[in-house]
Amino acid sequence: MKFNTKTIHGGQEHDKAYGAVMTPIYQTTTYAQTTPGGHKGYEYSRTHNPTRNALENGLASIENGKYGLAFGSGLAAIDAIMKLFKPGDEIISTSDLYGGSYRLFTKVYEDFGIKFHFVGMENVANIENYINSNTKLIWVETPTNPMMNIVDIEAVATIAKTHSVLLAVDNTFATPYLQRPLDLGADIIMHSATKYLGGHSDVVMGALIVNNDDLAKKLYFIQNASGAICGPMDSFLVLRGIKTLHIRMQRHCENGRAIAEYLANHPKIEKVYWPGFENHPNHEIAKKQMGDFGGMISFIPKGSNYDDAIKIVEKLQLFTLAESLGGVESLAGHPASMTHASIPKTEREKSGVVDSLIRLSIGIEDAEDLIDDLAQAIG
Ligand SMILES: Cc1ncc(COP(=O)(O)O)c(C=O)c1O
């Protein structure tokens, strides 16, 4: 089955009870047993729920994985990965990453004795300097949020395998429409399904996809033991969202290109971060590992400071000033005061998240309307 077909049919079967074509919302907690343990595969919905299972099978299918696991948020999914480790273990992460992931690593798991190294991975050779016998995981976000840096997943996977270290990739920005990290050698794919997979800004959810039986067993144990699952209604919404992922992503990419090019040619814009530009430092890697370049763009207005950036995002009419990304509607954000405020200023500026940086999540509206809105806000 090819990708577009998988988004609709992958891992799905018609409902066993009445043949419903779309998996129903099993808003159910518990399941009748004829004798203790005598059930039809479902006992209690923290452990298994038919709607969540349909989603998990779909997630596995579109990422070319064997196992999918859905959680109550992207951070709950990352939290489940962290619970694989113990005090003394070390994790190497991209230095430019979602602020909430950074906060979970440094404010929660460092207190449990896990050590994190934040490393610029545009040059993968940097990673080797931090690997030692305690290293257990390499955490990669690519494209990175919000600087749109690209990390060569295949090259990092080679390093991870050489040192018997796990590789996890946050595939939220790219989605499996653009890149499939398990195929490139990663062990775990993580998603904030809140974003493109759900696609309609109406659900918060996280997901993990793996191939390895043993790793899947451990993660399913943590999912059930810690209980950070998502509900049936949310599972239904993301399952529905995935069915149009390919056509939404195609438009996100087309609009992303049009707006990135518009901004790059605008006399009042100093810098545009988008991996589709030939002069992007990792454009060749983006071309190699991604099918297209996505709808996330960051930019810096010329000679601007914190207040100038705020003025622009406040003036936007069609773009909504809001946290999050990946929905059908275009959003604008100011990372320094919003998504990345939990990263200390000195740390975030080291990776380029300066006060004047603006991040756009390009939706699937008409690109001309979005450009008109940017034109009036930039002035
Ligand atoms: C790249 C990335 N990873 C993880 C997360 C966390 O996901 P959630 O908000 O669903 O917990 C986000 C949220 O913005 C994100 O952008």
Question: Is the distance from the beta carbon of residue 75 to the nearest atom of ligand 1 less than 6 Å?
Answer: yes
Looking at residues 215-228, what average pLDDT do you find? Answer: 98
CA angle 244, 247, 253 (to 5 degrees): 130
Pick the catalytic residue from 170, 187, 234, 292. 170
Question: Is the distance from the beta carbon of residue 175 to the nearest atom of ligand 1 less than 6 Å?
Answer: no
Domains and CATH numbers, the chain: 3-242 (3.40.640.10), 246-378 (3.90.1150.10)
168-197 pLDDT, tens digit each: 999 999 999 999 999 999 999 999 999 999
318-343 pLDDT, tens digit each: 999 999 999 999 999 999 999 898 88
Q: Which atom of ligand 1 is nearest to the CA of 76?
A: 11
DSSP 92-130: EEESS--HHHHHIIIIIITTTT-EEEEE--SSTHHHHTT
Question: Which pair of structure tokens corresponds to residue 172?
Answer: 């939220």
Pick the catalytic residue from 6, 52, 195, 257. 195
**Nearest-CA residue for atom 7 of ligand 1:** 74
With bands split at pLDDT 50, 70 and 90, how would you rate the model's confidence at 158? very high
Looking at residues 51-57, what average pLDDT do you find? Answer: 98
247-293 pLDDT, tens digit each: 999 999 999 999 999 999 999 999 999 999 999 999 999 999 999 99
Report pLDDT for 328. Answer: 98
Q: Is the pLDDT of residue 56 over 90?
A: yes
- What is the average pLDDT value for the chain, to the nearest integer? 97
Ligand 1 pocket test: which of 103, 178, 189, 195 has the largest number of ligand atoms within 8 Å of its C-beta? 195
Contact 148, 117 (CB under 8 A): no
pTM score: 0.97
Q: Tell me if residue 216 falls in helix, strand or coil.
A: helix
Looking at residues 58-73, what average pLDDT do you find? Answer: 98
Separation in Å, CA 19 to CA 14, 233, 303, 322, 328: 5, 19, 61, 40, 31
Looking at residues 211-240, what average pLDDT do you find? Answer: 98
Contact 301, 378 (CB under 8 A): yes
Question: Is the distance from the beta carbon of residue 263 to the nearest atom of ligand 1 less than 6 Å?
Answer: no
95-142 pLDDT, tens digit each: 989 999 999 999 999 999 999 999 999 889 999 999 999 999 999 999
Question: Which pair of structure tokens corresponds to residue 53?
Answer: 């299972």
Distance (Å) from CA 212 to ligand 1 centroid: 24
DSSP 129-171: TT--TTEEEEEEESS-TTT-----HHHHHHHHHHTT-EEEEE-
Report pLDDT for 343. Answer: 85
Q: Tell me if residue 9 falls in helix, strand or coil.
A: helix
Distance (Å) from CA 191 to ligand 1 centroid: 7
Q: How far apart are CA 353 and CA 29, in angstroms?
A: 44
Beta strand 135-141 with 90-94 is: parallel
Active site residue 257: no
**Nearest-CA residue for atom 11 of ligand 1:** 74
Burial of 309 (0-12, 13-18, 19+ CB in 10 A): buried
Question: Is the distance from the beta carbon of residue 94 to the nearest atom of ligand 1 less than 6 Å?
Answer: no
